[in-house]
């Protein structure tokens, strides 16, 4: 079963809002966001290799990873965890090395639906242009792909 992903990107505001439910308990869904090995199995485009450089999913921790395409292209990402509250909340920053100093901040709220889990993510971009650029470059496809892979990780 694949649940729908609801993505909202209202015109004129630098926000992206995402709601997705999973058919798995909240502790498993949350752990797939904070365990480096599990996280690496579903994050980033499926056709790219993913190398997590470091990943310390605690309040005040930092993370960085590199995606590589078959042609040798490298895409670096890094951020800091402002808040990691078990089975409840992850607030983190996000920066793509190709757009230095353009930092977005995401707040992911995890809700226990009784054996099922809802994740609600509110992302704030530094400018309208940064938000619109992210939407234009296949963000929706990437989110759906990631969450489909996350479902596979949870099923295993």
d(CA 108, CA 55): 17
- Considering the complex, state which of residue 13 and residue 113 has its C-beta at the smaller distance from its own copies: 13
Q: Where are the beta strands (DSSP E) in 23-103?
A: 49-55, 62-68, 74-85, 89-96
Q: Least distance (Å) from its own copies to the CB of residue 11?
A: 11
Smaller CB separation from its own copies, 84 or 153: 84
Q: Identify the residue among 62, 87, 121, 144 touching its own copies (CB under 8 A).
A: 62
Q: Map residues 6-45 to x or -, x wherever contact with its own copies holds by CB under 8 A.
A: ------xxxx------------------------------
Which range of residues in 67-75, 90-98, 112-120, 133-141 is near its own copies by CB under 8 A? 90-98
Q: Are 79 and 97 in contact (CB under 8 A)?
A: no
Please list, in sequence order, all residues whose beta carbon lies within 8 angstroms of the beta carbon of residue 90, skipping any fewer than 6 positions away. Answer: 33, 34, 57, 81, 83, 84, 106, 107, 108, 110
Residue 23 corresponds to which tokens in the numbers above?
């058919």
Q: Which helix (H) or strand (E) holds 129?
A: helix 128-136
Find the shortest distance in angstroms from Cβ 79 to its own copies.
Answer: 7
Q: How far apart are CA 93 and CA 42, in angstroms?
A: 19
Return the range that interacts with its own copies (CB under 8 A); candidates 32-40, 89-97, 111-119, 144-152.
89-97
**For residues 50 and 103, which CB has a smaller minimum distance to its own copies in the complex?**
103
Binding region for its own copies (CB under 8 A): 12-15, 60, 62, 79-83, 89, 91, 93, 95, 101, 103-105, 107, 122, 124-126, 128
């Amino acid at each position: 079963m694949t649940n729908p992903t609801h993505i909202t990107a209202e015109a004129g505001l630098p926000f992206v809002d995402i709601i997705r439910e999973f058919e798995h308990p909240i502790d498993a869904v949350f752990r797939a966001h904070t365990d480096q090995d599990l996280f690496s199995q579903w994050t980033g485009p499926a056709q790219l290799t993913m190398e997590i450089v470091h990943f310390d999913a605690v309040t005040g921790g930092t993370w960085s990873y590199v995606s590589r395409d078959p042609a040798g292209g490298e895409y670096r990402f890094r951020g800091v965890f402002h808040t990691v509250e078990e089975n409840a909340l992850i607030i983190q920053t996000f920066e793509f090395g190709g757009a230095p100093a353009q930092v977005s901040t995401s707040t992911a709220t995890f809700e226990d639906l009784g054996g099922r889990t809802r994740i609600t993510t509110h992302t704030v971009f530094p400018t309208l242009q940064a938000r619109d650029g992210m939407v234009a470059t296949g963000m929706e496809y990437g989110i759906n792909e990631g969450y489909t892979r996350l479902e596979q990780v949870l099923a295993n």
